[in-house]
Chain A
Amino acid sequence: KNEVEQSPQNLTAQEGEFITINCSYSVGISALHWLQQHPGGGIVSLFMLSSGKKKHGRLIATINIQEKHSSLHITASHPRDSAVYICAAPGAGSYQLTFGKGTKLSVIP
């Protein structure tokens, strides 16, 4: 089973700030998921990445397989980015997904 750790648990930022959320895992993986959970509870997939970097709008996700670490960056943060961000990783040789406990982001105008 993979152990997945996220940091920070809570993050408050001023609108416009650059935000970084970190995710570390214990077992070598082939892909890692970043999810966003809206204040209303719905969950959407932001990224699935297995190497390098992916970008979607103001969101950038990176992964370093050797260091077992991934980061989610938000540029020019906006109050609508306020949500819980969750990373998830499968175990080695397993289709079981293990989730980090999430990072609650609040962006203040």
Chain B
Amino acid sequence: DSGVTQTPKHLITATGQRVTLRCSPRSGDLSVYWYQQSLDQGLQFLIHYYNGEERAKGNILERFSAQQFPDLHSELNLSSLELGDSALYFCASSSGLAFATDTQYFGPGTRLTVL
């Protein structure tokens, strides 16, 4: 158990809908990262927040957005969903800001299925 929690575990929705995925980092960690894992694209970095501020963006679509709240939990919002958005979405957390050297602890993921 990494100490990172993600809810829900599974989500099934229809095309065009909007969903919110939630992540609670390990106690004391200030950084939250979001990743997408799909059969087509493999694992891709989406976005990084540190203490409430966006620090880096990866391959995140404009239809997707994220935020980190004062209590440090984070939400990933996916809108206008398409079939290709079906994937596992992982959240990870780390203690600091050093992307290069901090160990990231991954949650168990949320499996999103878009029908």
Do A and B interact? no
Q: A residues touching B (Cβ–Cβ < 8 Å)?
A: none
Q: B residues touching A (Cβ–Cβ < 8 Å)?
A: none
